[in-house]
Structure 1
Amino acid sequence: MTLIGRTRVRGVETLSLDAPERRNALSAALVGELAGALTDAGRDTGVRAVVLTHTGNTFSAGADLRDPPAPEALVGLLRQLVELPRPVVARVTGHVRAGGLGLLGACDIAVASHAATFAFTEVRIGVAPAVISLPLLPRADPRALARYFLTGERLDTAEAARTGLITAAGEDVDEVLAPILDGLRRSAPEALAETKRLLTARVLETFDRDAAGLTALSARLFSSATAREGMTAFLERRDPEWVV
């Protein structure tokens, strides 16, 4: 079963998260297949840019609680998006939760339709947005991240754009996307690669400095009794025991 759709139009490779029945949750299999597709796109000189999108009404619900990827694998995927020698543009027309926001943070540009919603739901199941903070902390508004990391509140597209979680939004996401892709197609590939290196230098410094510690933190939290209660409550559609 293929979990990543691939199409190409005029040098733009579109990779679609294609597990809508699981809300495109980041399973070990999906993370591995997406990493492979990105490797192929990075090696192919015919690819000028990558669009990362989805099928169904959810871009990604975050980690698959039944088959989660190893924290090291998710770190590797996020770093791969940041380091890819092609611009990566996220195209979002649905909901984004938890680890899905890490994917957005690792993309160079993110556009969304007004139907999209966003939330860092980790604290509500007893864990922390540890690994996904690697691309987000250097790029998004720190005061906004403090609020939404700590509360798990839902954001609309206007707030997501204001805080730097996305680049732009509109009623028709493809109308927003069209001039961006046109600009990328008109740009020299070598110049795009060097410009991306300039833009991602601080993000990669964060990976170099913090990835090992945050990977260990994520593994510890996900194996805790608190996380087991939170995940069980989520799957049983009830409040966890700590809710007052």
Structure 2
Amino acid sequence: MTLIGRARARGVETLSLDSPANRNALSAALVGELADALADCAKDGDVRAIVLTHTGNTFCAGADLRDPPPPDGLVQLLRQIVELPKPVVARVTGHVRAGGLGLLAACDIAAASTAATFAFTEVRIGVAPTVISLPLLPRTDPRALARYYLTGERFDAPEAARIGLLTAAGDDVDAVLEPVLDGLRRSAPEGLAETKALLTARVLESFDRDAAHLTALSARLFASPRAREGMTAFLERRDPPWVL
């Protein structure tokens, strides 16, 4: 059973997270399949750009708590998106939580419908948004991140665009993306690759500087008794004991 759908139209490869049973959570298997699909696109001269989207009403629910990828595996996936010599465009029509927000931040362009909602829910299960901060911190408003990282509040697509998590939001995400994809199809592959390298240099600096520390921190937090209780409470649909 494949977890990544693939389709192509006029040089744009669409990769769809296709694991609706767990709301497209980042399992080890899904992360591996997505990495393989991106590598295929990088080598394919007929692919000008990649659209990353989803099936179901959730783009990505974050880490799969029953089958999570190793922290370094998620770091490698995020870096792969950032380093890919072709633009990666996120197309979101559903909800995004925790690690899914790291995928959005790694993409070069991200658009969502106004039906989408967003939340950094890590603090509510006793962990922190560690490795996803590698692409998020250089690209997103720091004051807004302080609020949403610390509270786990849900916010909408216009707010996500305002703080830099999204490029744009609209009622019809495909209408929003139509001129974007047209522009990418009109652009020379070499020009796109070099321009993307200019744009991602600061993001890659954060990977070089902080990836090892944040990977170790993620592993430590997820292995803690507090996180085990938080994840158990989440899976049992109850409040953890620290809720006042």
TM more than 0.5: yes
Percent identity of equivalent pairs? 82
**Per-residue deviation, residues 77-100 of structure 1 (Å, max 9, x unmatched):** 000000000000000000000000
- Using the alignment, how far apart are the partners of 2:6 and 2:84 within structure 1? 17
Query: Cα RMSD between the aligned structures?
Result: 0.3
Q: Residue by residue, what CA displacement relative to the aligned partner does 1:26-78 show, whole Å, maximum 9, x if unpaired?
A: 00000000000000000111100000000000000000000000000000000
Q: Distance in 2 between matches of 1:137 and 1:102?
A: 10
Between the aligned partners of 2:183 and 2:100, the Cα distance in structure 1 is: 26
1:43 equivalent in structure 2:
43
> Per the alignment, in what secondary structure is the counterpart of residue 64 of structure 1?
coil
What residue number does 1:154 align with? 154
**1:210 equivalent in structure 2:** 210
Q: TM-score, normalised by structure 2?
A: 1.00
Structure 2 unaligned regions, length at least 5: none
* Alpha-carbon separation, structure 1, partners of 2:157 and 2:16: 21
Q: How many residues align?
A: 244
CA distance in 1, matches of 2:45, 2:85: 10
Q: Secondary structure at the match of 1:138?
A: helix
Structure 1 unpaired stretches of 5+:
none
The normalised TM-score by structure 1 is 1.00
Q: Which residue of structure 2 aligns with residue 178 of structure 1?
A: 178
- Cα deviations by residue, 1:169-214 (Å, 9 ceiling, x for unpaired): 1111100010000000000100000000000000000000000000
Match of 2:137 in 1: 137
Q: Distance in 1 between matches of 2:159 and 2:176?
A: 17
State the one-letter code of the partner of 1:234. Answer: F
Which residue does the alignment assign to 1:34?
34
Corresponding position of 2:237: 237
SS of 1:50's equivalent?
A: strand
